[in-house]
Each structure stands twice: as structure tokens, then as C-alpha cells.
Structure 1
Amino acid sequence: MEDSLRSSGNLSRKVISVAAGEAHTLALTGDGYVYSWGRGMFGRLGTGSESDELSPVRVKCETCNESEEKRLKFVGIAAGAYHSMALADDGSVWCWGYNTYGQLGMNGENAVVPHLMEQFLSPSSFDSVTNESETKRKVPLKVCSVKAGGMMSLAIDNLGMLWMWGNCPQQSGSCESGFSLVSSFTPIPVWDFHGHAVVKVACGNEHVVALVSVGETHKGEHLVCYTWGKNDHGQLGLGDKENRIHPEIVETFNQDSPWAVYEVACGAFHTALLTRKKRPNDKLENTCWTFGLGENGQLGHGTTQSALKPERVNELPQDAYLISVDCGLFHTSVVSSAGDLWSWGMVKGLGLCPDATFTGTDAGDAMSPLRIRGLQEPRFHDPIQIVCGAAHTVLVASDGYKLWSWGRGRSGVLGTGKTIDFVAPTVVLWPPLTDDFKDRELNKDTEEDNLENKGSEEAAGTEKRLSLAMEEMKLLQSKLSIMEKYAGILHSSIFGKPFTEEDIPNSLRNSDTFDIAKEWEDMLESADRSKLIRLELFYRNMLAGVKDKQMKRRIQEIIKEFIPSSTTEN
């Protein structure tokens, strides 16, 4: 029983999935709870308000049963630009956030807490539109996975049927080309894959990519890649810029392709896929392919040119097994099973958008993959998943027990307790110091005390000690935040860039001593000309200010000496 309780506690801290929107982040834990942080506008955090959250807080689900024995447990999450989705273990779909285009699956206002999509409650809801066989219709409809992007929401059911709602690409008689994005709050089935099963799907602002089985069900055979939607930048990978109403096969990854696609991701106007060679017994040959808009280097091809067909990201090592890929607005990131991480695109792969003010070595877009390293070690141990928001990136590592984030920090989207940008991975405040975690720990301690026949007095003592410890941790975190803020201001004033963990001197990082003279000498030795000029200007202005202050005080002292002496003479 004790082992069971300990396992339950671990699951509450283990992140099994993450999702990122324009400026918010979601995390799903092993015990079925959803946490969110970042910008709260439109209710996208699901906390009951539109306030920003600088660190993870639990999503409120007041309409689902919250008792620990009977509550719904979430098994999947997804994030659009300004809305969020969660899939429960009973197949029900819950949505919250922005709803102007019906992406929450309801005809109404935005939702600040999860809203149940009633359309997926019963297969009879779709009897009027379904054309499946009578046998298949007898199978209760159950959603197995959810996905979101831009203003669009998607779901795959247990029959392999793909459903779409929100701002979706559809045929329109009012448009000359017959194509437009049409708002729908009712899920629309995609019949083009009849006789096949959709296994994975991703969507950008206006396009969709689906990995589909060769047969009726996915039995381990390799998947075929289909794309459709808006194609202004070649993001469909079909060799042209023509929009598509219906899905078409990307010939590079058709049934006869030597490459097997196993992961897919969409940015706003570009697409990325991970493949491996089909032939057995060959050495591992793993490849990332990208196509679509490339003006900020987000394709990783070494140029700013767009690509109308899939092209390899050649500078990634082929012997690294890439386990996860994701795209932001203007950047792309991948992580390998060994914990190696690469990113490319706007502002050195950070995706920080044109208003970023970094200079020197942090300036410029990355046209090819850049290796992202951790603070202590170059690799991130036991990685799980990487996701990209509009201008931030989040990595789940340490088998789900540690989260790293970097990029734009506005509204607390990085989950670090701060709103500043980070150009290097920094640790997310996980597990969060929230009341629900505290209550769960207290309940766990109480159960353990009962099992060991401890008295209520000792249980109360445990509760008090834990409460005091939590308060002390919050106080220490507050002090640390103030100190980091102060150090950041000083660092920005001197060096013209935000302070990151990589700026901590090696002598201080590796021991308790700090040789400031040696660190200063090493810093000057490694500084380029522009940095030396900046330092010279900073210290020249600072010295001039000190001398000016000294002169003013000396003048004040002379005046004070003169006034008493002149009074005495009079």
C-alpha cells in the first residue's frame, strides 16, 4: 500500500505531455490533471479568469466530477493560438479559451473554464451525416486524440475518422477558387479517408497534415502523408502554391516511399516531419524534412528561401534518433532520444519575432540547426517531448519530472515565475507550489499515518510542518526572484542583454569561491570589439558620474564651511 501511495505521488509530478499556444503552455500529468501558465486573455488557461499566470496552476473543471474516486482523468491535451483542449479517459472532449470561430465546439462566447463538447457524447449525434457501414455505426463513438492549431480544432475517433471544427478549410461557392476558411462550431467529418484510418494529424494557421494508414486500420504498416488547406507558401509540400479543398498525397511520403513518416508538426506557414528508412537491417538513418515559408530560416536549409516540396534538414546528424519535433511561428525544434536538442529559425532559433532587441552573438536568424545546450551538461537526460509556441519553446525531460523553457517570457509563458526573456533553457517551476499539490500531499501523509496507526495529533503535526515548509519555500522563491531581477538589471545595463544561467562564472558555478579578478580578465579576453566598446562607454559614463557627484559634494562642503565663518565675522 505504501508503494502504491508513493507511486501515486510520483504520477502527480510526472508530465506525460505538453502543448503550447501563442503565449500559453499546457502540461498533462500522469494522474490525469491539466496545468497551465502564461497569458490568460480569452480564458485560454482554464483557471476561471483571464489573469496571466507566471508558473503552473491547475485547470479548473468545475462541471466534471472532482472527487478523486470518480473524477474524469485527462489523457490528452492540445493548444491552438488562443484556445485549449483536453481529452478525458471516457472519450469526452473539453475546450476553453477563444471561441470567435467556434473552435470550442459551441455557439457562444469565450470560456474561462473547460466546456464539454456535447456533440461527441453519442454516435446518434452524427447519424444524419455519417455514411459508414451499419457495422461500424454500432461501435460507440469515442475520441482517441485531439489536436489544435491557429483557430482550428481536430479530433480522431476510435474508427480512425478525422473531425474538424473552428476556422477550417472547406469548399465554398462564394469564393472564385472554391476554397475558403469557414467557421463551424459543429465537428465536420473528413470523408476523404474512407476505408483508411487517420493515425496522426497536425495543423497550422490554415493548413492540415495527416498521417493515414494504408489499410482500413493501422497494423504497423508505414503511413501515407496527406495535406490540404491554404498553400500560399508551399506549406502543403505538393510542389506548387495552389490551395487544396481535399487532401492530396505528398509524393515524397507515399506508399512506395523509402521513408516512413512517424512524426509531423505545423508552424503557422511551414511543416516539419520526422522519417526513418523503411528497409530493415540497415544502419539507423533518421531525417527531418521541412517545407513551406522559409524567410526566417525556419526550414533549416541554410537559406531564407521557401520550399514547395519536402527537403531534408541536412545539418542534423543522421545517426541521432529524433523523437519529437515541433514548429512555432518562425522557428522549429527537434530533440533526440539521447537528449540532444537543435533549433533553427528567427533570432537564433528562439522565434522571438522582429521586436527582439538582442545584439552581438544573439542577433540574427539561424538558417541551419543550432545545438541548444543545458546549463550543467550539453544533453537533457531522458527527454519526452518538445513543443513550440509562437515565440517560446518547452522541453519535457528527466522522464517527465523536469521541464525546461526558453524564448519570449512575456505574461509568464515560460513558467519560471518571471516575465523576462531567456535565450538559454531555464527550469520551469515544477512541481508547482499550488494549493492542490499541497492538499494532495497532506492527504497522502494522512493516509500513510492511518496505515501506520499514527494518532491524529501526529497527522496534524505533519500538516503544520508541511504548511510551514511550503510558506518558507514561497518566501525563498520570492527572495530569489527579486535577487535575479536585480542581477538581471545590472547585467543588462553593463552587457546590453538579459542575464541567463549561462552567464554565471565557471569559478562560482563549480565551487564556493569566486575569483572576480580572474573572471574579469577572462571576460575581457573573450570579448569581441563591439562588446569592449560597449564596456568602455558604460564605465566611462559611470566614472564621469562618480566624479561629477564627488565635485558636487565638495562644493556643498565648501559652502557649509563658508557660511558659518561669514556669520561669525558679521
Structure 2
Amino acid sequence: MEEMDNPEQGGDISRKIISIAAGEAHTLALTGDGKVYSWGRGTFGRLGTGSEEDCHFPVRVNFFDSDDDVDREEKLKIVAIAAGSYHSLALADDGSVWGWGYNIYGQIGVTGENNLTPHLLEGFFGLGSPGSSTRDQETNTEKPLKIASVEAGGMMSLAIDSLGSLWMWGNCPHPSQNESLEFSLISSASPVPVWNFHGHTVVKVACGNEHVIALVSAGETHEGGDLICYSWGGNTHGQLGLGHKENMTNPKIIEAFNLESRLEIYDIACGAFHTALLAKRKKPTESLESLCWTFGLGDNGQLGHGTTQSLPSPEIVTELPKRIFLVSIGCGLFHTSVVSSEGEVWSWGMEKGLGLCPDARFTGPDAGDALSPILIPRNGLVDRKFPEPLEVACGGAHTVLVGDGGFRVWSWGRGRSGVLGNRGTHDCYSPALVSWPLSNNSVDNEYIEEKNSLENLESEKRFSEVMAEMNLLRSKFSVMERYASVLHGSIFGKPFQEEDIPVSLQNSGTFDIGKEWENMLESSDQRKLARLEMFYRDMLAGVKDKLMKRRIYEIVHECIKSNTDKTSE
């Protein structure tokens, strides 16, 4: 059964997802009309729904509590979202930032307890930018600074303002002007500017539990091909990509991606203690292709290099197909996923790249960490590609993919607490549709549930049929292999090996028995020929003996019959 087309896909931006973000056990989705939806584990208020209850399907996040604020709610347009381990961020089109969820380190931008609903950050008001003077700040105290993008990871939050300056709050590896100070994470509920990139433009940033990766322009403004990759923070597993495992208080250039590099980084992602980058050549080539680089902790194969070794320097994930263009990359705690422009998804790391944590392991022939990229097909053996992929995001133990131009969402991995958004709580080892789009109409909801249920049942049935056929073929092949081995051993006196397969059969798939017999005789030594002769004599003697026994039986049978006929007369 093919996946059913979305009847609402005709351009309804309220049902089109333009961005996703995944935390430890929750997911955020941003729609084209600027609304935010969340689902998964509700502990600490990370879903922003006003409670700590889990949500098994997407629910809308309201930014104003009062019924009197309905007008303001509808006018507020969110343009970006981000998720840390247990907290969430949202950026509005007016440059304001909202935060909710876990707040022990001030990562949602307020002092005090966790917030179950979105809270407007006031720390940016009147601060100016890291490059502005004190006088500038004094003359602009009533004008809020406009933020252009937000990011979150672990227990920290980051933002880039409209001037390209970077801000940090929560439990952060904040750079220090004093190089002699030892590295430490500093907690702050107020956004603090990163002065190290003054005079440059921070274009993109990502963070893990203790480290930060930033793409920064070489000059004051960003021009194509001029980005330099910096890193700083905790580096106990080499997650900074600097060639060593020493912690860094201040940003350092990753030399593989300096200004002279032939490669330009265009997407970055951080796991708990590993980093993944997507790079393309600065000079255009005939084919559009990209490379994936990883470094840091590799205990569960999350680097994709075929080993569990940790790496302090960037290395290319060589087992990804060549000549493909990767549009998005995501890192979970201990797994990594990428998606190509053609809709193919590869994952690697903990539990076959699914991200399942040790307390959710499954058994069977497919169990175990994926040390190299494995293809995650959309619909088993029937369809391997996802239509019109936009973005992939990895949570603590789950993966979410937006495809079909934003009108459909798939998820897989750990399902407890409704993390996968498919109205269930079971783990999914293959992609399942998230209950999207939503509707206030109960008929539409029933349609969505029925569609997901039918598709899951059909997929399981198809998979069972394929596995049954494979097992039957495997059984037949095993019998044929044993028969060939017995026959070969009887003739040649040794077990059948792969090199014993005739050349004509290897090259063309057809078997010229006359030619192969001549070739075998020509290449046989005296001992082998003697054995063949002995086998032939024994076989010939056995056949003659059998023929003689049958002839004797026939003669005796004829005599008995003749005597019986005479007696009856």
C-alpha cells in the first residue's frame, strides 16, 4: 500500500512544516504561518503546553496565557526554533526570543524555576551588540536588540543578532579574556556577548553538552566562500577537531576548514560529545556533491568510520555514496543522520543508527551499533527514498525527518512518552509517519490515525512476506550448497571452495560444460587425473553392477512368470 497523498497539501502554509528541532525526548515543529507545535516527554515543561504531561502527537504551543491576548497570539509569527536537552527556544519575526522548559542553569533566559509556558527573554533589551560602544548602548537603552537566529544544545542557549554577533546563556563555555584561566562552564540566566568575533560576522553556530562550533566570516561581512570554522569548550573526546584533547577556553580555528581550505562548511551539528560537518568545494564543479566530516567521541560508532575509535581531528565519512549532495545533518546523543537532495537517509551510531539508548535495546540479527552509515529506507524494500526532503534532526534517542516539501514528517527510534508523535509509545525500527497534519475536525483525526495504522500494518505485512521469502531462498540455497559440496568432495576429494566455481559461470552466468571439462583436464596434475580415473572406474563399475543386478532380476521375474503361466494351464 503506497502512502496516501495529503489532501490538504495544495498550499496551506498552516500545515506546512518549515523547520524542526529535537531535544533529549521531545520535538518542535515550526509551520509556514509562524506557529509552533511540540510533542514527546513533558517533564520540566519542555513542551510549553502549561503542564508536564507527555504529548503523543503534535500540539500547538501558545505564547500568551490570557484569553484577552488572542489577538496578540495570532499576530505573533515565529520564524525559528531550537531545542536543548530539556528546554526549548523560539524566535519571532520582530527579533524577540522566547524560552521554556528546564532552567536550573538559566538556559531559558530567566532566573528561578522551570517554565511550563513560553517566557519572553528580556536580557537582550538595551544591551546593544558586542561591537557597540557604551555610548551607543546608553542612547539605545529602550530599543531591543534584534536577534536573527537561535540555537540550543545540552544545557546552553545561543543566539546571533542582526549584526552577526554571538550571545550565550545557560551553562556555557564562555570565552575569557584571560588566557591563563582554566576551562570551566559558566552559568548565566542573562545573554552574554562573545567578544572574540568582534569585527566579523557569525553566520551559523551549533553546540553540544560542553562545546561550541561556529562558522565566522573572515572579514566584517559574510561573502561566499569566506567562512572559517572555530571551536571551543570541553574537548575530552576531541570534539573540537583541533588535533588534541585539551579543553579550550577561547575559540580556535579548525585548520582543516581555515580560509585557505578548498572546502566550505555549510551545515554543522553537535552531539553530546561529537561533531559533524557538511562541506562542499568552494569552486563549482560539474556535479553538485558534498562531503561529511566527523570527529570527537566514537564509542558507539557515531563518527561513521567503521570503528569505535574517538578522533581529535576531522575525517571524511568515506562509506557514504560518492557524488551526492547532502542537504541536512543531525546529531543525537550517540548517533548521526544525514539526508541527500534525492531523499536518501543514512544513519550511524548507537543501535543501528536509530539512537536507541542502552535501556531500550532490541535483540535479533539487526542488533548492535552501526559503525558505518546504513541506509534508512522510507518503506522497507519497496521505496528507499523520502520525497522532497527538507531537514533531519536527531534527539537523544530518536530521529525526525521533514519531507514531501514540508507536508509530511517521519520519525523513528525510541517511542516512549510519545516521542515519535505517532500517537503511540512503542519503539520504531523503521520510519513511521508523525500524526501530521492536525485538524480540529475529529473526522480528519480519525482519517490520520487510520492511515497511519493501515500503513504500519501494510509495511509489517510486506516485511514479513519478504522475510519469509528470503528464509525460503536461504533454505534452498543451503540444501544446494550441501549437495554441491558432497558431489565435489566425492569427485575431487576436497570441500567445495569459491575458487572452484567455473570461470565461464563467474563471468557470464552461463555454464559451458564441454569447455570447462576440457579446461579442467588440461589444468589437472597427474595425481588429480589419477583420482578422476579412479572415480570414473568406480562409478562405471557401480553402474554396470546395477545394470547386471536389474537384468538378473528381470530374468528371474520372467522365469517365475513363465512357470506360473504353465501351472495355470
TM-score tier by shorter-chain length is: 0.7 to 0.9
| Equivalent-residue separation in structure 2 for 1:277 and 1:118 (angstroms) | 41
Q: Judging changes above 3 Å, is the alpha-carbon distance between structure 1 residues 74 and 173 closer, same or farther for their aligned structure 2 residues? A: closer
Residue aligned with 1:261, SS: strand
Output the amino acid matched with 1:168: C
Question: CA contact under 8 A between 2:237 and 2:297: conserved in structure 1?
Answer: yes
Corresponding residue to 1:249 among 227, 241, 253: 253
Q: Who is 2:300 aligned against?
A: 296
Aligned position for 2:394: 388
Q: Secondary structure at the match of 2:71?
A: coil
Shift of 1:348: 0.6
Contact 1:171–1:180 (Cα < 8 Å) also in 2 = no
Instruction: Identify which of 434, 442, 463 aligns with 1:471.
Output: 442
Contact kept? 1:339, 1:381, Cα under 8 Å? yes
Corresponding residue of 2:507: none
Q: 1:402 to 1:526 in 2, by over 3 A?
A: farther
TM-score of the two chains, using structure 2 as the length reference: 0.76
Residue aligning to 1:88 = 92
Partner in structure 2 of residue 505 of structure 1: 462
Aligned residue in 1 for 2:32: 30
Contact persistence 1:211–1:225 (CA under 8 A):
yes
The residue number in structure 2 matching 1:466 is none
Q: C-alpha distance in 2, partners of 1:247/1:185?
A: 22
| Deviations 1:408-442, CA, capped at 9 Å, x for gaps | 00100100000000000010000124xxxx3xxxx
Superposition map of 1:411-426 within 5 A: 411-426=417-432
What is the aligned partner in structure 1 of residue 51 from structure 2? 49
Matched, 1:324 2:328: yes
Tell me if 1:159 matches 2:163. Answer: yes
Does 2:277 match 1:273? Answer: yes
Q: Does 2:360 align with 1:349?
A: no
Cα-to-partner distance string for 1:432-460 (whole Å, 9 max, x where unaligned) = 24xxxx3xxxxxxxxxxxxxxxxxxxxxx
1:110 corresponds, among 101, 110, 114, to 114
Shift of 1:314: 0.3
Q: What is aligned with 2:551?
A: none
Structure 2 residue aligned with 1:13: 15
The equivalences for 1:401-416 within 5 A come to 401-416=407-422
In terms of Rg, which structure is larger? 2
Equivalent position to 1:522, from 465, 469, 473: 469
2:348–2:372: 8 Å Cα contact kept in structure 1? yes
Q: State how far apart, in whole Å, the 1-side matches of 2:41 and 2:443 are.
A: 27
C-alpha RMSD of matched pairs (Å) = 3.0
> Are 2:293 and 2:314, in contact at CA under 8 Å, matched by a contact in 1?
yes
d(CA) in 1 for partners of 2:288, 2:233:
33
**Residue equivalent to 1:449:** none
- Alpha-carbon deviations, 1:18-63, whole Å to 9, x = none? 0000000000000000000000000000011110000000002115
For the residue of structure 1 that corresponds to 2:442, the secondary structure is helix
Query: What is the CA–CA distance in structure 2 between the aligned matches of 1:221 and 1:520, rounded to whole Å?
Result: 49
Cα distance in 1 for residues equivalent to 2:467 and 2:302: 37
Deviation per CA, 1:370-411: give whole Å up to 9, x if none.
Answer: 011111521111100000000000000000000000000010
Deviations 1:66-93 (A, max 9, x none): 3279621000000000000000010000
Match of 2:240 in 1: 236
How far, CA to CA, are the matches of 1:172 and 1:149 in structure 2? 21
When residues 500 and 11 of structure 1 are mapped into structure 2, their CA distance, relative to the original with a 3 A threshold, is: same
Query: Residues 435 and 449 of structure 2 are in contact (CA less than 8 Å); yes or no, is this contact kept in structure 1?
Result: no
Counterpart for residue 428 of structure 1: 434
One-letter code aligned to 2:375: R
1:304-315 superposed matches below 5 A: 304-315=308-319
Q: Cα distance, 1:162 vs. partner? A: 0.3
Contact 1:424 1:500 in 2 (8 A): no
Distance 1:356 1:87, change over 3 A: same
Question: Which runs of structure 2 are paired with 1:113-152 in the superposition (5 Å)?
Answer: 113-120=117-124, 122=125, 124-126=126-128, 131-132=132-133, 141-152=145-156
Q: Structure 2: which amino acid aligns with 1:100?
A: I
- Residue 284 of structure 1 contacts residue 318 of structure 1 at CA under 8 Å; is this kept in 2? no
1:400 paired with 2:406, answer yes
Q: 1:206 to 1:473 in 2, by over 3 A?
A: same
Residue-by-residue CA offset, 1:273-303 (whole Å, 9 max, x unaligned): 0001122345434100000000100000110
Cα distance in 2 for residues equivalent to 1:203 and 1:258: 25
Alignment CA distance shift 1:7-1:289 (3 Å): closer
Contact 1:287 1:312 in 2 (8 A): yes
Q: Could you tell me how far 1:473 is from its partner in structure 2?
A: 4.6
Asked if structure 1 preserves the Cα contact closer than 8 Å seen for 2:200 and 2:218, the reply is yes
Map of 1:58 onto structure 2: 60
When residues 133 and 220 of structure 1 are mapped into structure 2, their CA distance, relative to the original with a 3 A threshold, is farther
Residue-pair matches, total: 462
More displaced stretch, 176-185 vs 70-79: 176-185
Counterpart of 1:413, as a letter, is V
Q: What letter corresponds to residue 522 of structure 1 in structure 2?
A: E
- Aligned counterparts of 1:401 and 1:104: Cα–Cα separation in 2: 30
* Alignment TM-score, normalising by the size of structure 1: 0.76
**Can you list the C-alpha shifts for 1:287-326, whole angstroms capped at 9, x where unaligned?**
0000000010000011000000000000112311101001
Cα 1:187–1:69 shift into 2, 3 Å: closer
Which residue of 39, 42, 48 corresponds with 2:41?
39
| Unmatched tracts of structure 1, length 5 or more | 1-5, 439-469, 488-498, 508-517, 530-570
Read off the aligned partner of 1:83 and give its amino acid letter: H
Identity of aligned residues (%): 58
Q: Unmatched 5+ residue regions in structure 2?
A: 1-7, 477-569
- Of the three residues 69, 73, 76, the one matched with 1:72 is 76
Q: Which amino acid aligns with 1:41?
A: T
